[in-house]
């Protein structure tokens, strides 16, 4: 099957049930997407598929045929996506493990809803757990990336 990952056309002829996460990490060496729980409960593995935030640990490769996948590495090669800049400015990460998933969820939110409400942020970000509890800084960064309020 064919798919596009971070703007590059790829082909995949492996097990159609293999989770997208393992294709990204093991075959493409895109290790910014993290394995957290394996059951779509923590969100550390969040990537975009055709612009939508999904959990790659439970998404089989068969569901990705012909689609466009964006990982944290593809969000912005220069690291200048508004979410990435806001994350750095707000000093969001503590341990950092969940942060690629957090940023990918936030970027998808802002693409769909450029000026999100508090409820929009709560809904979108409820899919990604931060064990360190940096939720206040995450919210600040999302608001900043949206241009403030």
**Is the separation of the CB atoms in 135 and 107 below 8 Å?**
no
Answer CATH for 82-145 from 3.40.640.10, 1.10.150.120, 1.10.357.10, 1.20.1250.20: 1.10.150.120
pTM confidence score: 0.95
pLDDT tens, 63-116? Answer: 999 999 999 999 998 989 999 999 999 999 989 899 999 999 999 999 999 999
pLDDT in tens, 40-56: 999 999 999 999 999 99
Alpha carbons 86 and 148: distance in angstroms, whole number: 11
- Considering the domain 2-75 in this protein, what is its CATH number? 3.10.20.30
Q: Domain spans of the chain?
A: 2-75, 82-145
Compute the distance between CA of residue 20 and CA of residue 132 in angstroms, rounded to an integer: 26
Q: For 127-149, give one letter per residue: b (16+ CB within 10 A) or e.
A: bbbbeeebbebbbbbbbbbbeee
Res. 24 pLDDT band, cuts 50 70 90: very high
């Amino acid at each position: 099957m064919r798919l596009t990952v971070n703007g590059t056309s790829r082909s995949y002829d492996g097990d159609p049930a293999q989770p997208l996460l393992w294709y990204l990490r093991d075959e493409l060496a895109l290790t910014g997407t993290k394995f957290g729980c394996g059951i779509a409960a923590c969100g550390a593995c969040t990537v975009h598929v055709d612009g939508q935030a999904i959990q790659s640990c439970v998404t089989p490769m068969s569901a990705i045929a012909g689609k466009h996948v964006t990982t944290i590495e593809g969000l912005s090669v220069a690291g200048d996506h508004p979410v990435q800049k806001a994350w750095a400015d707000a000093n969001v990460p503590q341990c950092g493990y969940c942060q690629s998933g957090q940023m990918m969820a936030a970027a998808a939110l802002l693409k769909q809803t450029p000026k999100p409400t508090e409820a929009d942020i709560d809904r979108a970000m409820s899919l990604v757990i931060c064990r360190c509890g940096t939720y206040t800084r995450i919210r600040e960064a999302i608001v900043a990336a949206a241009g403030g309020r």
